[in-house]
Amino acid sequence: MNVLALDAALGGFSAALARDGRIAAWRCESGHVALERGLALVDDILSAARFNADQIDRLAVGIGPGSFTGLRIAIAYAKSLAAVWQRPLVPVDSFDLLEYGSNLAEALGVVVGRPGVISARYRSPSASRRASGRIDQVLDALHLAPSELAVVGAPKDVLDALAERGIIVRAFEPAVTPAAAAAALAAGFRTPKSLHEVRADYGELPAAKPPRF
């Protein structure tokens, strides 16, 4: 199976092509480049792998949480390509992208939003909880017990906040990068969704709250 994947939720913009469960080509650029460079990167990896659209079996896209603008652009590109090429589309959330390939039975995945604001998911064999907001509010909402915990994607301020709560942290970076490569590999084992079902998950708190009247 050949899968073309896009992601702009977890920093910059990445595109990757998986062929039979292995990454055949990928490109990644940092910064807010999704609008200007997104489709050019898709062309680059198709050329590098000597592929054309007819050889793509399905598409995948990271749906967040993550960058507000990047998510909108990447999902719009993925939906447009899926519609034009008449291919199925598989959404993959950011927490699964962070953890893909790590084989962790229990983990806390962290996506950074604005300064001091995160989205996080705690996952174990018996539970899955997530929350978004200020760091302390999120950690309160997740009800993390003092113990040893694998943490993926967390910056220093989150690791420090966990340590202050008596949690012994084993910090990990994502096992598969860029994020689009993880999406391309994960999508081979997932059920596609209709284009109308694929929506962005922005995760974090809004920058401002509307007034109450």
Closest CA to 165 of 128, 201, 140, 196: 140
In b/e form, how buried is each residue of 142-177, taking b as 16+ CB within 10 angstroms? eebeeeebbbbbbeeebeebbeeeebebeebebebb
- Interval 115-145: pLDDT, tens: 889 999 999 999 999 999 999 999 999 999 8
CATH (one of 3.20.20.120, 3.90.180.10, 3.40.50.720, 3.30.420.40) for 2-94+175-197: 3.30.420.40
- Per-residue pLDDT of 84-110, as tens digits, reads 999 999 999 999 999 999 999 999 999
Separation between Cα atoms, residue 72 and residue 10, nearest integer Å? 13
Q: Across the strands, what pairs with 44?
A: none
Whole-number Cα distances in Å, 22 to 25, 44, 167: 9, 18, 36
For the segment 27-82, what is each residue's pLDDT rounded down to a tens digit? 998 877 777 788 899 999 999 999 999 999 999 999 999 988 889 999 999 999 99
Cα angle 109, 115, 116 (rounded to 5 degrees) comes to 65
Q: What is the pTM of this model?
A: 0.92
Q: Where are the domains of the chain?
A: 2-94+175-197, 103-172
**Which one, of 109, 85, 86, lies nearest residue 98 by Cα?**
109
